[in-house]
Amino acid sequence: MHARIAAISARQPDRVLAAVAVLAAACGVAVGLWEERLNLGGSGRTAPLVIRVEAARPLAAASNQVALDVMRARLRATSGVVAVHTRPAAEGGRSTALVVSFSDDPGRGEAAVATIQAQLDPGPLRIEFSGGATELRDAREEALGDLRLLLLAAPLAALMMIGALGARAALAVLFAVAAAILSAAAICIALSLAFDLSVLCLLGAAAATPVAVLQCGLAQRGASWLGQVTAALAAATVFASLAVLGVGYLAAIALGGALASLLAAPFALAAMTAARSLWETKTGEGTWAEALLGLVRTAAWSRAVAITLAMLATAALLVMALPVTGLDPTAFAAPAAPEIPAGRLAAGAGGAAASVLLIGWLAGRRLVGSVAAVLTVPLAALAGAGLCVLVFEEEILDGLLGIDPTPIGVGSLAAGTVAVAASSAAGAVAALAARREGGLIVEQRYAGWAAATEAGALGSAVGAFAGAALLFSSLGFVQVLGLLALAGFLLDLLLVRGLLTAALLALGRRG
């Protein structure tokens, strides 16, 4: 299949590029027209709605009790509502919260949320909506605003790709990435005809953008089918680990990310092969690969130096990840977050690690290299998550970054962590495959590994730009995603794929 795609793209490059561009546009139109078919929460039900209630006088006052009773009665009478629970009063008896649960029918649940937010009369009380249901609804309403933020980052990302690949190759990258992401989104919408699927599957597809850019970089450098296919499988496996948690909207993110990761390889190969044939774009290493090889040669002067660099980079990442241990895995501090047992979290992480280890061994046929790849994959993602805990939970650096503290929900934390880890896994596996293809010549082995690492670095840089743009979102959980992406991809680019990889390369070279 790999050879056939490459052959067709080389024979008819203009038609292939046009077809990729048209397919991307058609899928984009389909997503825009039928996105409303996707429900908000996924898994066949709407997340609970939390109504925070505050009063100027204690809630035990007669007028406040009447207002509370009237609100509860109207909520229970709303079609689609199945239960209303009142939390104990707090703050001197002046505040409480009503937790509204909805029908298993997602359509009725979403209609009930809209009705409550538009028509509920609090009387003399003050109310504020929060919880999973309202957050997802706000996410849909604010999607266009966040899209504009991403569009602001697009020119910078385009300039970066032009500098790394050239203007014509960068255009081919744009076509390939758009085709992979939008095709995955269109498939999710088609699946919604038969299954209840959350709109957050589109977020999962978009989160695979760094993986798609990585695949384009591999194709630009003439990587074999083994490197591209195993990289796609590694990324899809990491995204799929979210489905183990058993939460509908996380499973939707997993589906979108896995589909986009798998589709990225063929589209990247077709677009980049056609661009080389049509415009005679160059292949080979760039400045990042040359800098990486320079680090390898520097570290190779002494095994002690290489070991010290590897230990310093690993220790720094682990220290930054340490605050994650303070989170409660069953709640993640979000008001209406689903309870996820620690055993499921361990099963998801363990399954992803075992799968990446197997795929890495198939790619490189080196057990030591595969184990090293698995150990480095989660480091940047966990360090980024630790930074999010410091900023949003511990309120450290929040003023410097201009971010309002907010509880970290399981959805934003899991989605951001997996997005960074998937890109890191794809890059590590592609590097293993490139090293194997170098054969017995030492310089060719490490030059191939460095070139594959440079392709992954380009994807990490694009992800960091997108994360920086999302920091300006008005939604708290989108800001969590943005900070995690920005920190995680930058750390992956500089410490993991840079310093730590160079140290491991030097150790392998001396061994």
Both structure tokens of 464: 């960091």
Residue 456 shares a structural domain with residue 498: yes
314, two tokens? 């690993």
Strand partners, 6: none
Phi-psi region of 328 (alpha: psi -120 to 50; beta: other; left: phi over 0): beta
36-39 long-range contacts (CB < 8 A, ≥24 apart) are 37/189, 37/192, 37/193, 38/188, 38/189, 38/192, 38/197, 38/198, 38/199, 38/201, 38/202, 39/106, 39/107, 39/110, 39/196, 39/197, 39/198, 39/199
Q: Which of 70, 105, 130 is the last residue of a domain?
A: 130
Q: Are residues 423 and 450 in the same domain?
A: yes
CATH number at residue 121: 3.30.70.1320
Domain range for 323 is: 2-37+140-510
Rounded to 5 degrees, what angle do the CA atoms 308, 309, 313 make?
A: 115
Neighbouring-strand partners of residue 198: 39
- Decide if 390 is inside a domain: yes
413 and 283 co-located in one domain: yes
The pTM assigned to this predicted structure is 0.77
Residues 67 and 30 in one domain: no
pLDDT tens per residue, the chain (511 residues)? Answer: 777 888 888 888 889 989 999 999 999 898 888 877 776 655 445 667 778 888 888 888 888 888 888 888 888 888 888 888 887 876 667 888 888 888 767 667 777 877 888 888 888 888 877 655 555 555 555 554 555 666 666 777 777 777 777 778 888 888 999 999 999 999 999 998 888 787 788 888 988 999 999 998 888 877 788 888 999 999 999 999 988 877 777 888 899 999 999 999 999 999 988 888 887 665 544 566 666 667 666 766 677 777 888 888 889 999 999 888 876 554 454 444 556 666 777 788 888 888 888 888 888 777 776 787 778 888 999 999 998 888 887 767 655 566 666 667 777 788 889 999 999 999 888 888 877 665 433 455 566 677 777 778 888 888 888 888 888 776 677 788 888 999 999 999 888 887 887 777 666 654 4
Are residues 319 and 243 part of one domain?
yes
Same-domain pairing of 188 and 269 = yes
| Gap between the Cα atoms of 68 and 60, Å rounded | 10
Full 3-state SS string of 367-384 = HHHHHHHHHHHHHHHHHH
Count of structural domains, the chain: 2
42 domain residue, yes or no: no
- Strand ranges of the sheet holding 95-102, from the earlier edge strand across to the other edge: 81-86, 95-102, 49-54, 126-130
The one-letter code for the residue type at 314 is: T
In this structure, the answer to whether residues 57 and 192 fall within a common structural domain is no
